[in-house]
Structure 1
Amino acid sequence: MSYLERQQAAFAQSVQAVASKVAPKRTLAAPPVSAPSPAPSNTSSTSKNEESKDLKRKREPANVVFSQPAITGMGTEIGTQIQFAINYLKEKRDPKTIHDILGYLSQTYAPERARRTISDILKKHQKVKFIPDPKSKTWESGTFEHRPTINVRNKKDLIEFLQAKKDAQGIKIKDLKDGWPDCDAALHQLEAEHNILVTRQKKDNAAKMIWCDDPSLHTYIDPEFHALWNQVKLPSVDDTVRNLLAAGQKPASEDPSKRIKLPPKPKEKKKKAPRKGGRETNKHMTHLLKDFSHMKR
């Protein structure tokens, strides 16, 4: 055996030893060769177009009207029913049972859970007064009554309420009409009798707020006295202030028209502070930045 044959045999042995240690690689099978598809006909192309149109129609969202709120469930319905129930109690002004309220709301045959929810909310509502029944403790017992902002429904109660107030704040007509909606005629009569003081709006002369008044403070004054009072010439404000200052007294108030209003001060623009401690750059080019114009011929 020649030297070349021995080298070839040793190389073959080393290849076999290495191949036994390396895991064989998986070979992917070649895809089967399919037969050429026939040329598409007009009928097949039209059917494919129709299928693609159907898919697009399915993917398109349905037309949604966003101008109206969607039904979100029981919470919104019960909130609306509670408001209707309060308006019903406010209109009737008499205690009503839960069955009367459910009949007004057309909820008599609703599930018991929904009816009990309406009853529980009305019992805890601040605009509703619940009167429990001492003989029965079921959820259907007791009566409901509207609780106004001001519990006044006639002229006598209004005068007593105003006289019992411990402050000088008036009453808003809006709060009064919450429990006494048709009080306009009574207010006109009480104002004419000097039992109340009324402030009105300039636009439509509607009552805005009321205070308590005392009829005993209103006395008859003869028209002749009115005429004599109007003939008296009162000193002007300037003369009054001048006379008080001359007498060494300080006037209690000054004429608002004489006050000098100072013009508003213009806003001062902030000046930027000079930069301090900045780094000097291009020191290596100082000899190039010098003025050499004097060296020209």
Structure 2
Amino acid sequence: MSTLAKDAASFKSALARQDYTSWHSNPAPPQPSGSQPPGPQPSGPQPPGDTPGEESGEKKKKKKPKQNVVYSQPADTGTGNNVNTQLVYAVAHLKSTPNPMRLEDIAIVTNTPLTTDSGLLEKFKHHDRVAYDPKTDLYSYKHDYNVRSKPALLTEIQRHTRKGRGLAVRSLKDSWKEAPQAIEELEKEGEVFVTRTAKDGQLRMVFYNEVKGDDQGPIEVEKEFMDLWHSLKVPNETDLLKDLASEGLQATAAEAAIPKNAPGKKKGKKTVNRQRQAKIINTHLAGIDLSKDYAPTR
């Protein structure tokens, strides 16, 4: 065999030994000329420990994924067998659904026997938050306010403000999820007044704005009335009670001063040293004062 043929055979042998499944090539040591080239290497991935360059018995440990399990809370195992528990699941699902539902759909989604258990069905129909429409045979949840649009929301706020009270934004949100965004838009338009929490500035109460300005802007209060308002001084608690009494008025229960020695006010127990007479039970001790130190005579 010529030198050129030997070099070609050696090159083909080295090329067949290349491991293309790894980043590293593992050429075998050079073989003497004239030897037959080994068969093709398997192209699949090799198990750990058999790969050249890696020590035998050394395996990579796979990390198990951490599971966020709260062992102090019981696992949710379903609706259970109790009728009241199944009723709570069915009503809660009806509350989370904005559209009316069929009884069969509610039973399937909540996995409750509404269609087979007559007792559960009776309680479900007579629930104070469940509304049934006999014309469509559909069930829906009774929210505190029937609001589904921005104009209806403004009308509801205006109706309650005329009664001297506002509306809680939380209750409106339960009835209509887009109520907070609509309230903020109405506030920018000057239609309502909004109170917010001091901690995070979340919407709390909403009131209808009965005093609105024209197209030129809000109504300005004259300086004379502003000066009169700021000139008023509120007396302290003692003088306020005296002024009310002089006018024949009485303070409300929340502002009335509570007397220090009022009945029903609990105070700390005081220990009083009282000298009690000893009760004589034994007749042979009659005539002897046991409250005094007694030393028998010898």
The normalised TM-score by structure 1 is: 0.48
Structure with the larger RCO, 1 or 2 (CA within 8 Å, 6+ apart):
1
TM-score (norm 2): 0.48
- The structure with more radius of gyration: 1
Going by fraction, where is helix more abundant, 1 or 2?
1
